[in-house]
Chains A and B, each alone.
Chain A
Amino acid sequence: MSAVGTLVRAHLRRDRWALPAWWVAGTLLYCTQAVSIDGLYATQAELDQAAAAMEGNAAFVAMAGPARALDTVGGQVAWQSTAYGVVLAGLMSTMLVVRHTRGEEESGRDELVRAAAVPRRAPLVAAMVVATLANVVLGVLVAASLASYGLALADSAALGVGLALAGLLLATVALLAAQVFSTGRAVWGATGAVIGAAFALRAVGDVAENGLSWLSPIGWYQAMHAFSGLRWWPAALLVLAAVPVAAGAVAAFERRDIGSGLRAASPGPARGGRSLSGPLGLTWRLQRPAVVGWTLGLLLTGLAYGTIGDSARELIGESSQALFGGGDDLVAGYYGTTAVMLALIAGGFTVSSALRAKGEEESGRGELLLAQPLARGRWLGAHVAATVAGSVAVVVAAWLGVFVGYAVVTGEAGDAAHYAAPTLVQVVPLLVLAGVAALGHALGGRASALGWAVLAWSVVVLLFGEAWRVPGWAQGLSPYDHLPLAPAEAYAWGPVVGLLVVAALAWAASYVVLCRRDLG
């Protein structure tokens, strides 16, 4: 199949900057853990002490995975890296599959390719070849970096193999979604939901130890027990799951028309509804599916975290109390961290929502719209309003999830309200994120990635800020880093006001810049 070869070469050329970036990020995710553990703990006794504290901490277990052999460097690497490794590999796979299948169809380039002497399935196969290659290289780099650092070869290899297989499984999920849905945005949404569900299922399963983790690919990967009694058979689950998903993707591909999803495009209303009468109505219409999807997603994720209830308390040993969160109540610490985690996930909605205006401008629809009697400020304002309303909805859904989950499991509504409340405050950093993203769009060019960059940095700060000893000012670049870890720490209004001022300034700046620059 020379067509596949040609396509793969073209794809790899197009991905020649993105792929190495993913590989470097993934490899660093693993090997910096090893380095930082050795750097943080000078003696085995110190590591033992820390490990004992971490093991009993429900929040850490929820964020990372089941605590095994935490008193070894290898055990720490496996614990802290694997869940996020799969998330990273999943995002890489999704990007590759969307870019080379549905994205190409949406742009019309796929049609151009198919007009040439290209077998029907070649574009599909080529995208999967690229995704496979990307995941294999990532796995090899991870295994090689850990082995060369001096960790056990077989276990290092297992971490690499498991990561590659999990990434590949998620690539097949993306491929299936790319056949079912007709837009790249929807494919991202569906695959993102699967990755999120995989993470949430194992978080709940690992804390509550109720077997839910066995429903998650991340759980299978972690069940390989690298560096803590390695076993290979859970890797087979990753392969076994990928086969039917890939077969489903091919079957769906055979059933659909090129350019459309599995469901044929249905005719719609011949007249615009009453709500579709201005910029607000339009942006709401454009953003509604995303708001609904993310709201549901965060509700379920919040539920998952909430149903851990107060079982966090039983898991926590007396000795660890000083370590975590600075508060005296470790259940409170767990929910404080949960609130930030949920808000980081919600940040994905906020940034993509704030950048809808950019998509409108680049597609040429902005030009059509702004040639109407519609001032740029009002147009931007409508997008800001949709982003703010959507972010509030998403955060409220997360709050509701935590509240209901906790209340149902424990039967104590008062405590549920207490532990869920900090989630609501997390809308504030989201507003900053939205403002920064909007400013990035207004500035244009490379700056348009500003929103995503700040969100990515915020994730790094939350997960690795302490481990990597990131300086305080750099941690402060994360809008999530300024609020106290309520309810473990007391609420403070100063940072809230400060963040709101920053958000307002960012919006004002984006307004000023956008109204002064060329459009399109």
Chain B
Amino acid sequence: MSTPQPALDVHGLVKTFGSFRALDGLDLTVVPGEVHGFLGPNGAGKSTTIRVVLGLLRAGAGQVTLLGGDPWRDAAALHRRLAYVPGDVALWPHLTGGETIDLLARLHGGVDEQRRAELVERFELDPTKRGRSYSKGNRQKVALVAALAADVELLVLDEPTSGLDPLMEATFTECVRERREQGCAVLLSSHILAEVEHLADRVSIIRNGRTVESGTLDDLRHLTRTSVQAELAGDPPALAGVPGIHDLEVDGHRVVCEVDTPALDGLLRALTSVGVTSLVCQPPTLEELFLRHYGDAVPATPSPPGATS
């Protein structure tokens, strides 16, 4: 498989705020035609990375290549080829949503009338309301419509669904898939693994300003184990040593373990053969993953301004 030139290539990125090291050697590559999940717990440095990529913050060290250029030096020229949705969308209080969308579109070189109308319709946005009277989700929709209506090579989306209801989230997923079909690269940051799981082709997981995992979802399958807690009717079957079952704890009739997705079926069959009185299955949260895979608790570092997530 020939690798196309990446839309975004970050190597060893370092960013400090005073004595606080927000980014500490971060690597990230996004290629055209892929949705790249950018995962990390709150305060990991996702938004800081995005702000450096957008040329709003100056990199301390490392290389950032954005669409073949330098995001700090050529910010304005490169921004013509990308669109951005901030994590916390702030709008002009007296401008209506429609006016804001048009302003952003015109800064991008013009309004694609058909796409604009279609997106306003699909996101069920009332464009006549003023910025101050929109809810968080509606503010997000304004920024999403503006970003998705732009004809760009890269979409940078910082926790874009945090205020959307499930219906709108589905619309959002559809729209992002369409843009991917058209060859657009998408950087999608989130702190919820499940959110990017069904959308992302590849995932980078960062923690404390450093990339700890990167690859396709198949590569990272070990991170998507399901945790199972079961109360059984009788003595538990012999599960120790069975491939795909990890961190097994047996306590009387109670079984707690982690299971790889392919081994889930076998585990459930074994459990139900004994008889199940209660069963809880849940995908591990990112925080749990970090605890299990990287050994220590996520420290509560105070975030400086500009490093909110």
Contact = CB atoms under 8 A, between A and B. Distances in A.
Interface stretch (A36-44, A70-78, A276-284, A450-458): A276-284
Given A267-B128, A271-B99, A373 B107 contact: yes
B107 A276 contact: no
A368 B80 contact: no
A375 B103 CA distance: 15
A374 B79 contact: yes
B108 A363 contact: no
Interface in B94-144: 94-96, 98-104, 106-109, 126-130, 132-133, 143
B266 interface: no
A260 B108 CA distance: 33
A232 B104 CA distance: 61
Given A276-B102, A518-B57, A365 B109 contact: no
B220 interface: no
B133 A364 contact: no
Contacts, number: 119
Contacts of B132: 182, 265
A372 B96 contact: no
B106 A520 contact: no
A448 to B, nearest CB: 14
Interface string A368-396: 11111111101000000000000000000
Contacts of A375: 75-76
Contacts of B91: 365, 368
B107 A271 contact: no
Contacts of A376: 75
Contacts of A518: 56-58, 306
A375 B73 CA distance: 10
B9 interface: no
B89 interface: yes
Interface in A278-332: 278-279, 281-282, 285-286
A269 interface: yes
A94 interface: no
B129 A272 contact: no
A253 B253 CA distance: 63
Contacts of B242: none
A365 B88 CA distance: 10
A373 B151 CA distance: 13
Given A371-B79, A373-B109, A269 B58 contact: no
A376 B127 CA distance: 28
A183 interface: yes
Contacts of A183: 93
A276 B98 CA distance: 11
A477 interface: no
Interface string A237-275: 000000000000000000000001000010111111100
Contacts of B305: 520
Nearest to A516: B58
Contacts of B88: 364
A519 B104 contact: no
B180 interface: no
A367 interface: yes
Most chain A beta-carbon contacts within 10 A, residue among B56, B79, B80: B56
Nearest to B128: A267
Nearest to B84: A371
Contacts of B92: 282, 286, 365
A369 B95 CA distance: 14
A166 to B, nearest CB: 32
A270 B76 CA distance: 27
B99 A269 contact: yes
Given A265-B132, A267-B128, A276-B99, A367 B106 contact: no
Nearest to B54: A371
Contact of A273 (B54, B99, B109, B127): B99
Interface in B225-283: none
Nearest to A372: B107
Contact of A278 (B77, B107, B130): B107
B51 interface: yes
B76 A268 contact: no
A368 B143 contact: yes
Contacts of A365: 90-92
A254 to B, nearest CB: 21
A268 B107 contact: no
A500 B5 CA distance: 50
A517 B54 CA distance: 14
A268 B56 contact: no
A364 B103 contact: no
B79 A268 contact: no
Contacts of B25: none
A445 B77 CA distance: 29
B306 A277 contact: no
A457 to B, nearest CB: 29
A379 to B, nearest CB: 10
B106 A270 contact: no
Interface in A168-183: 182-183
Contacts of A277: 102-103, 106
B86 interface: yes
Contact of B102 (A265, A267, A271): A271
Contacts of A372: 79, 104, 107-108
Contacts of A268: 95-96, 98-99, 128-130
A520 B98 contact: no
A363 B139 CA distance: 14
A515 to B, nearest CB: 10
29 contacts: A265-B130, A265-B133, A268-B96, A269-B128, A271-B102, A272-B99, A272-B103, A276-B99, A276-B103, A278-B106, A278-B107, A286-B94, A364-B88, A365-B90, A365-B91, A367-B90, A368-B84, A368-B90, A368-B143, A371-B54, A371-B86, A371-B156, A373-B77, A373-B108, A378-B76, A518-B56, A518-B58, A518-B306, A520-B56
Given A364-B89, A368-B90, A371-B156, 20 more contacts: A182-B132, A183-B93, A260-B133, A265-B130, A268-B95, A269-B98, A272-B98, A272-B100, A281-B103, A282-B103, A365-B90, A367-B56, A368-B84, A370-B56, A371-B86, A372-B104, A373-B80, A374-B76, A374-B79, A376-B75
Q: Which 5 A-B pairs have the closest CB atoms?
A: A272-B102, A364-B90, A268-B96, A267-B128, A373-B80
